[in-house]
Amino acid sequence: MEVAKDIQLIDAIAEKQALIFSEECKLFPADVQIQSIYPLPDVSELESKLTEQSKILSNLQQKVDDLASKHAYNPDEEYTEVESKLRAQLESFLETARSFNMIYTKEIRPWTHMMEVPQLHGFGPAANRLLEAYKMLVKFLGNLRNLRDSHAALAVGSSETVAGEPSPVTRIISECESALTSLNCDLGILSASIAREKAMQGQQVNF
Protein backbone atom coordinates (compact mmCIF):
# COMPACT_ATOMS: atom_id res chain seq x y z
CA MET A 1 0.00 0.00 0.00
CA GLU A 2 2.81 2.38 0.87
CA VAL A 3 4.47 1.72 -2.48
CA ALA A 4 1.22 2.44 -4.31
CA LYS A 5 0.84 5.75 -2.47
CA ASP A 6 4.41 6.73 -3.34
CA ILE A 7 3.77 5.97 -7.00
CA GLN A 8 0.59 8.04 -6.95
CA LEU A 9 2.49 10.92 -5.34
CA ILE A 10 5.19 10.80 -8.03
CA ASP A 11 2.52 10.74 -10.74
CA ALA A 12 0.82 13.76 -9.20
CA ILE A 13 4.12 15.65 -9.01
CA ALA A 14 4.88 14.81 -12.63
CA GLU A 15 1.46 16.00 -13.78
CA LYS A 16 1.52 19.24 -11.79
CA GLN A 17 5.24 20.02 -11.86
CA ALA A 18 4.70 23.40 -13.50
CA LEU A 19 2.38 24.43 -10.67
CA ILE A 20 4.52 22.95 -7.89
CA PHE A 21 7.67 24.78 -9.00
CA SER A 22 5.91 28.04 -9.75
CA GLU A 23 6.56 31.17 -7.70
CA GLU A 24 3.05 31.06 -6.24
CA CYS A 25 3.79 27.91 -4.22
CA LYS A 26 6.85 29.53 -2.60
CA LEU A 27 8.68 26.23 -2.09
CA PHE A 28 12.07 27.97 -2.35
CA PRO A 29 13.51 31.03 -0.60
CA ALA A 30 13.06 34.37 -2.31
CA ASP A 31 16.78 34.65 -3.17
CA VAL A 32 16.78 31.34 -5.08
CA GLN A 33 16.07 31.79 -8.77
CA ILE A 34 13.93 29.06 -10.25
CA GLN A 35 14.49 28.28 -13.91
CA SER A 36 11.25 28.15 -15.82
CA ILE A 37 10.26 24.80 -17.26
CA TYR A 38 10.43 24.57 -21.03
CA PRO A 39 7.01 23.92 -22.55
CA LEU A 40 6.52 20.59 -24.25
CA PRO A 41 6.46 20.79 -28.06
CA ASP A 42 3.15 20.44 -29.80
CA VAL A 43 2.44 16.98 -31.24
CA SER A 44 1.29 18.42 -34.55
CA GLU A 45 4.55 20.37 -34.80
CA LEU A 46 6.54 17.20 -34.20
CA GLU A 47 4.56 15.38 -36.86
CA SER A 48 5.21 18.22 -39.29
CA LYS A 49 8.96 18.06 -38.60
CA LEU A 50 8.90 14.28 -39.02
CA THR A 51 7.17 14.60 -42.40
CA GLU A 52 9.71 17.22 -43.50
CA GLN A 53 12.70 15.11 -42.50
CA SER A 54 11.17 12.05 -44.14
CA LYS A 55 10.94 13.94 -47.44
CA ILE A 56 14.59 15.00 -47.16
CA LEU A 57 15.64 11.41 -46.45
CA SER A 58 13.58 10.18 -49.39
CA ASN A 59 15.26 12.68 -51.72
CA LEU A 60 18.71 11.65 -50.51
CA GLN A 61 17.87 7.99 -50.99
CA GLN A 62 16.70 8.76 -54.53
CA LYS A 63 20.03 10.45 -55.30
CA VAL A 64 21.93 7.46 -53.91
CA ASP A 65 19.88 5.10 -56.05
CA ASP A 66 20.54 7.23 -59.14
CA LEU A 67 24.29 7.19 -58.49
CA ALA A 68 24.23 3.45 -57.89
CA SER A 69 22.49 2.87 -61.22
CA LYS A 70 25.08 4.98 -63.10
CA HIS A 71 28.26 3.77 -61.39
CA ALA A 72 29.15 0.23 -60.38
CA TYR A 73 30.01 -0.08 -56.70
CA ASN A 74 33.39 -1.63 -55.96
CA PRO A 75 34.14 -1.85 -52.22
CA ASP A 76 37.78 -2.82 -52.96
CA GLU A 77 38.40 0.09 -55.36
CA GLU A 78 40.46 2.17 -52.93
CA TYR A 79 42.29 -0.88 -51.62
CA THR A 80 43.12 -1.99 -55.18
CA GLU A 81 44.69 1.38 -55.97
CA VAL A 82 46.77 1.34 -52.78
CA GLU A 83 47.87 -2.24 -53.46
CA SER A 84 48.98 -1.28 -56.97
CA LYS A 85 51.11 1.59 -55.64
CA LEU A 86 52.56 -0.65 -52.93
CA ARG A 87 53.50 -3.32 -55.45
CA ALA A 88 55.23 -0.72 -57.64
CA GLN A 89 57.26 0.61 -54.69
CA LEU A 90 58.26 -2.87 -53.51
CA GLU A 91 59.23 -3.97 -57.00
CA SER A 92 61.40 -0.87 -57.38
CA PHE A 93 63.07 -1.51 -54.03
CA LEU A 94 63.60 -5.18 -54.80
CA GLU A 95 65.28 -4.32 -58.09
CA THR A 96 67.57 -1.85 -56.31
CA ALA A 97 68.44 -4.36 -53.57
CA ARG A 98 69.20 -7.11 -56.08
CA SER A 99 71.38 -4.77 -58.15
CA PHE A 100 73.30 -3.70 -55.07
CA ASN A 101 73.81 -7.28 -53.92
CA MET A 102 75.08 -8.23 -57.36
CA ILE A 103 77.53 -5.30 -57.45
CA TYR A 104 78.64 -6.07 -53.91
CA THR A 105 79.26 -9.70 -54.80
CA LYS A 106 81.25 -8.91 -57.94
CA GLU A 107 83.09 -5.72 -57.01
CA ILE A 108 83.45 -5.58 -53.23
CA ARG A 109 83.48 -9.14 -51.95
CA PRO A 110 86.74 -10.02 -53.82
CA TRP A 111 88.47 -7.37 -51.69
CA THR A 112 87.39 -9.05 -48.48
CA HIS A 113 88.72 -12.10 -46.72
CA MET A 114 86.80 -13.81 -43.94
CA MET A 115 88.70 -14.30 -40.69
CA GLU A 116 87.59 -14.49 -37.07
CA VAL A 117 86.60 -10.82 -37.47
CA PRO A 118 85.48 -9.82 -41.00
CA GLN A 119 87.74 -7.19 -42.53
CA LEU A 120 87.56 -5.07 -45.64
CA HIS A 121 90.68 -3.65 -47.30
CA GLY A 122 90.91 -0.59 -49.50
CA PHE A 123 87.26 0.32 -49.31
CA GLY A 124 87.86 3.80 -47.93
CA PRO A 125 85.28 6.44 -46.86
CA ALA A 126 82.59 4.90 -49.08
CA ALA A 127 82.01 2.37 -46.30
CA ASN A 128 80.38 5.08 -44.19
CA ARG A 129 77.95 5.99 -46.94
CA LEU A 130 77.11 2.35 -47.54
CA LEU A 131 76.61 1.78 -43.83
CA GLU A 132 74.09 4.64 -43.64
CA ALA A 133 72.28 3.22 -46.66
CA TYR A 134 72.18 -0.18 -45.01
CA LYS A 135 70.73 1.28 -41.83
CA MET A 136 67.94 2.91 -43.83
CA LEU A 137 67.23 -0.36 -45.60
CA VAL A 138 67.15 -2.30 -42.34
CA LYS A 139 64.73 0.23 -40.83
CA PHE A 140 62.48 0.01 -43.88
CA LEU A 141 62.56 -3.76 -44.17
CA GLY A 142 62.08 -4.27 -40.46
CA ASN A 143 58.41 -3.34 -40.94
CA LEU A 144 57.81 -5.66 -43.89
CA ARG A 145 56.77 -8.56 -41.71
CA ASN A 146 54.01 -6.50 -40.11
CA LEU A 147 53.04 -5.23 -43.55
CA ARG A 148 52.83 -8.76 -44.88
CA ASP A 149 50.63 -9.87 -41.98
CA SER A 150 48.37 -6.83 -42.43
CA HIS A 151 48.08 -7.44 -46.14
CA ALA A 152 47.26 -11.09 -45.56
CA ALA A 153 44.47 -10.05 -43.22
CA LEU A 154 43.10 -7.53 -45.72
CA ALA A 155 43.34 -9.98 -48.61
CA VAL A 156 41.01 -12.49 -46.95
CA GLY A 157 37.95 -12.85 -49.10
CA SER A 158 39.41 -10.99 -52.07
CA SER A 159 38.24 -12.38 -55.38
CA GLU A 160 41.69 -11.89 -56.89
CA THR A 161 43.36 -14.15 -54.34
CA VAL A 162 43.44 -17.84 -55.16
CA ALA A 163 42.96 -20.11 -52.17
CA GLY A 164 46.24 -21.55 -50.97
CA GLU A 165 48.38 -19.19 -53.08
CA PRO A 166 50.06 -16.00 -51.82
CA SER A 167 49.06 -12.68 -53.37
CA PRO A 168 51.55 -10.76 -55.56
CA VAL A 169 52.28 -8.29 -52.76
CA THR A 170 52.94 -11.14 -50.32
CA ARG A 171 55.38 -12.74 -52.75
CA ILE A 172 57.22 -9.45 -53.25
CA ILE A 173 57.48 -8.93 -49.49
CA SER A 174 58.93 -12.44 -49.09
CA GLU A 175 61.53 -11.70 -51.76
CA CYS A 176 62.39 -8.43 -50.02
CA GLU A 177 62.89 -10.31 -46.76
CA SER A 178 65.28 -12.66 -48.55
CA ALA A 179 67.17 -9.65 -49.84
CA LEU A 180 67.30 -8.33 -46.27
CA THR A 181 69.14 -11.47 -45.17
CA SER A 182 71.90 -10.77 -47.69
CA LEU A 183 71.98 -7.10 -46.75
CA ASN A 184 72.41 -7.90 -43.06
CA CYS A 185 75.30 -10.22 -43.84
CA ASP A 186 77.05 -7.51 -45.84
CA LEU A 187 76.26 -4.98 -43.12
CA GLY A 188 78.29 -6.98 -40.63
CA ILE A 189 81.31 -6.83 -42.92
CA LEU A 190 80.95 -3.09 -43.50
CA SER A 191 80.54 -2.34 -39.79
CA ALA A 192 83.68 -4.28 -38.93
CA SER A 193 85.52 -2.56 -41.78
CA ILE A 194 84.63 0.90 -40.51
CA ALA A 195 85.75 0.02 -36.99
CA ARG A 196 89.02 -1.34 -38.36
CA GLU A 197 89.54 1.75 -40.55
CA LYS A 198 89.03 4.08 -37.57
CA ALA A 199 91.46 2.05 -35.49
CA MET A 200 94.12 2.28 -38.22
CA GLN A 201 93.59 6.04 -38.54
CA GLY A 202 93.96 6.41 -34.79
CA GLN A 203 97.26 4.52 -34.89
CA GLN A 204 98.55 6.74 -37.72
CA VAL A 205 97.69 9.89 -35.74
CA ASN A 206 99.55 8.58 -32.71
CA PHE A 207 102.62 7.93 -34.82
Residue 86 identity (one-letter amino acid): L
Q: Where are the beta strands (DSSP E) in 27-185?
A: 112-113, 119-120
pLDDT for 38-90, tens place per residue?
566 677 887 888 888 888 888 888 888 887 777 766 666 667 777 788 888 88
Nearest to 170 by CA among 147, 141, 143: 147
pLDDT reported for residue 122: 52
Please report the pLDDT score of residue 32 as a whole number. 56
Q: Taken in order 114, 115, 117, 121, is the CA torsion positive or negative? A: negative
Whether pLDDT at 19 is above 60 = yes
pLDDT class for 172, splitting at 50, 70, 90? confident
Task: Give the residue-averaged pLDDT of 15-29.
Answer: 68
Q: Quick one: average pLDDT of 178-206? A: 73
pLDDT at 115: 46
Residue 104 has pLDDT above 80, yes or no: no
Which is more confidently placed, 61 or 173?
61
Longest dimension (CA), the chain: 109
| Percent of residues, the chain, with pLDDT higher than 90 | 0
Cα 17 to Cα 182: distance, rounded to the nearest angstrom: 82
> Which residues, including other chains, have CB under 8 Å from residue 80's CB and lie 6 or more apart?
74
- Residues listed for the chain: 207
CB 153 within 8 A of CB 169: no
Q: How sure is the predictor about 154, in pLDDT bands with cuts at 50, 70 and 90? A: low
What is the mean pLDDT of the segment spanning 107-120?
57
Enumerate the domain spans of the chain.
77-206
Q: Contact 130/190 with Cβ under 8 angstroms?
A: yes
